A and B are shown apart, each in its own frame.
Chain A
């Protein structure tokens, strides 16, 4: 399977702390995307980072990509209760015309 693996599977932190999620993938990619899914809702696109980029920011989100290690990380700074959700990475493999979602990280923010 080409599904990316994410760790941790679940993460619980205090509001205001930073949250880091990691994604590892199998083969070369064109880009890697991160999505958020709130309970009972659809997925929301967060960030797309291309294979020739190493870091990208969007508000409180910071994504890094290390193609030599085939890994990416998503950092959420100054977490809020509204950040409670599942987060999925989605590598776009060069050999496939689709994205494949990783296993996901369930993030809980404690008040």
Chain B
């Protein structure tokens, strides 16, 4: 069992739908991340939150909108996605800022399919 919980596990949506991905951790970690992973490729960083504030946005299209309501929760709001956005979306957390110096703990991801 992972300590980072992501819901839903699978999501199928049309290009005009609005949906949200959720991520929760109760390890007291203060940095949280969203990654996108295409099949047989490495994860690609999308966003980093540090102490509930957005600190890194890797030039992600505005149809992806992250939100960090509190230190345990991370959301990714989706709107007007394209078929190429179909991927595995992974959430991760790490204890503190200084993101590159600490191990990251990953959830099992949400498998997103855009029709």
Contacts and interface: CB of A to CB of B under 8 A. Distances in A.
A28 interface: no
A103 B44 CA distance: 11
A30 B101 contact: yes
Contacts of A103: 41-42
B111 to A, nearest CB: 8
Interface range, B side: 20 to 34
Contact of B90 (A3, A31, A42, A104): A42
B25 to A, nearest CB: 12
A97 B100 contact: yes
Interface of B: 2, 4, 40-45, 48, 56, 90, 92, 98-109
A98 B100 contact: yes
Interface string A87-111: 0100011001111111110100000
B42 A33 contact: no
B42 A97 contact: no
A40 B109 CA distance: 8
Interface residues of A, number: 24
* Residues of A contacting B: mostly: loop
Q: Which 5 pairs show the lowest CB-CB distances between chains A and B?
A: A92-B100, A42-B106, A101-B42, A45-B103, A43-B106
A59 to B, nearest CB: 16
Contacts of B98: 97
B101 A92 contact: yes
Contact of B42 (A40, A42, A88): A88
A75 B25 CA distance: 31
Given A88-B42, A98-B56, A103-B42, A93 B105 contact: no
Contacts of B44: 101
